[in-house]
A and B are shown apart, each in its own frame.
Chain A
Amino acid sequence: MKTSKVLRSALAIGAVAVAGGVAWRNRDSLASKNSPASEREAASYALINAPVETVVARLSKQAEWTRLLNAGAGGSGWTAIVTQEGAKGTIRIIASRDDDEVAGELRCEPAPGERGTKVRLALDEPTEGKLGEKLALMKDPAGPANLRLALRRAKMLIESGEIATARRTPQMDTAA
């Protein structure tokens, strides 16, 4: 596990996922190939496409670093902060926007067969358990789909350097 690089990517995933508007416990996963460090840097650069405005990361055991991102289409203004770095690629994050705040856990681990990195995301506010999930679904039925979309976009970003879109011009809000 290339810790700093993976965490940086994972942070991006967390921020993007939060931007998807999910606010309950849910899990999804994705596999992204292990890229050379140079390609990961390129992927980070391409974060300007991500639907977030600002990501500020503080890694508890490393020097503080800050990455400011331009707002892409659909920029949401969420700020994600890494609050705790756990074992085996697990980090805790808190993301906030205006008065909203959501906490969660990101875990990165090798995918089977050396096929990349499996990323799991769990957001744990405001509900937990099956009843909580049902209540959350009543509040926002699109939530799980949003989380899945956000993770997949993050995977695209990490692997290919950009988020696939069928838009023909930057001004078009939805797929053609």
Chain B
Amino acid sequence: MKALTWHGKHDVRVDTVDDPTIVNPRDAIIRITATAICGSDLHLYNGVIPTMQPGDILGHEFMGVVEDVGVESTLAKGDRVVVPFTISCGKCFFCEKQQFAACDNSNPAETHGPSEMMFGHHAGGLFGYSHMTGGYAGGQAEYVRVPFSDVGPIKVPDHLTDEQVLFLSDILPTGWMAALNADIEPGDTVAVWGCGPVGLFAIQSAKVLGAEQIVAIDHHPHRLELATQFGAIPLNYEQVDVLDELRAITAGIGPDAVIDAVGMESHGFANFALFDKVKQRVGIGADAPAALRQAITACRKGGRISMPGVYGGYADKFPLGALMEKGLQLKTGQTNVQAYTADLLKRIENGEVDTTFLISHRLPLSEAPDGYRNFRDNQNEWTKVVLKP
């Protein structure tokens, strides 16, 4: 089959690789009908996520049609499903607590080492996202093997198009969980750093959850414009002083909740940003958390921080003092996708949540390398790339 494979920094290719087959009883094989490039895929593309290996198949946002099933799968051949990017057994202590992203059994034992060394515990399994999270083949391919297919994939009705439901695989529930983690209350002002796909869905979700004011912070005019359709107040950090503006918008109090939808490759915000970049370039596992630093500084006393942005290593110049002295609460984590998909599917069906506005480009799988390059270099216009294998 054809699949998009990683070969190094800024080097992804469409290669011919072995077709996947059933390995374990709960497996399913999915024929991919739509898959997307995620903003977090750019961290892989930019070479800042450790434990990637040449030949790894990328992609963790995908959906398709069931082609084959193991004896214990609850899916049937022909089912049309969206697959969560988190691989979860559904049986362990964490899955039973709905903390699916922390699944104890989905990351193969032989790949526990790096994440245990860095994080203290091994990570859960993810599709197409380094060997620290299992080394699973991703879904930017014609076919993919889906372990624990009785837990993850959600069947979708025929009257919904692929593009309406594809983002249930990651960015929609990620934006949704980001807003939930902000513990939004009536009257709240919520500030969101980053108007990429997750940030925009977090903004949309914050609106659904009743935020009074939403502030969107980015430097791409088109992405800020997309945010305004949900009533967000746009702040271009290249044109205004974000902290001053937030104080003005909130009568000096500061946002009740802040959401960092940028993650480990933040830029701008002069303080320490250059220092971060140098360290990240050296390859010592350093994160560049400029947006998070500013979010913590901006947040009101006793406020909440939600951090859906991906971090993979270590951050310094981290404002622990502000976190403690202001009594802030921080919630973060890979998304527990399976906990939200059924609810979000209903919200898509009844028109409460729309995801299609985000898609800017549709490409065949063969043009995926161009899609990656443009998604990185032309972020203002290339807001979301959907690949059609």
A contacts, CB < 8 Å to B: 31, 33, 35, 39, 46, 49, 115-116, 148-149, 152-153, 155-156, 159-170, 172, 175-176
Q: How far is the CA of A152 from the CA of B18 in the complex (A)?
A: 28
Contact status B105-A166, CB under 8 Å:
no
B175 → chain A closest CB, angstroms: 28
Interface SS majority for chain B = loop
Contact status A176-B24, CB under 8 Å:
no
Contact status B93-A33, CB under 8 Å:
yes
Contact status B23-A169, CB under 8 Å:
yes
> Known interface pairs A33-B93, A156-B105. Does A163 touch B18 (Cβ–Cβ under 8 Å)?
no
B contacts, CB < 8 Å to A: 18-21, 23-26, 56-57, 72, 87, 89-93, 96, 104-112, 125, 131, 134-137, 145, 147-148
Q: How far is the CA of A18 from the CA of B91 in the complex (A)?
A: 26
> Known interface pairs A155-B105, A161-B72, A164-B134. Does A169 touch B21 (Cβ–Cβ under 8 Å)?
yes
Contact status B104-A159, CB under 8 Å:
yes
A-B residue pairs in contact (CB < 8 Å), sample of 22: A33-B93, A33-B96, A46-B25, A149-B110, A156-B89, A159-B89, A159-B104, A160-B105, A161-B25, A162-B24, A162-B26, A163-B109, A164-B89, A164-B107, A165-B24, A166-B135, A168-B18, A168-B20, A168-B23, A169-B18, A170-B23, A175-B110
Q: How far is the CA of A46 from the CA of B147 in the complex (A)?
A: 15
Interface SS majority for chain A = loop
A160 → chain B closest CB, angstroms: 4
Closest to B148 in A: A160
Chain B residues near A46: list those with CB within 8 A: 25
Task: For A159, give its contact among B19, B56, B105, B131 (CB under 8 Å).
Answer: B105
Q: How far is the CA of A165 from the CA of B148 in the complex (A)?
A: 11
Task: For A167, give its contact among B23, B92, B131 (CB under 8 Å).
Answer: B23
Closest to A172 in B: B18
Q: How far is the CA of A164 from the CA of B175 in the complex (A)?
A: 28
Contact status A166-B24, CB under 8 Å:
no
Closest to B141 in A: A168
Closest to B127 in A: A166
Q: How far is the CA of A46 from the CA of B91 in the complex (A)?
A: 15
Chain A residues near B23: list those with CB within 8 A: 165, 167-170
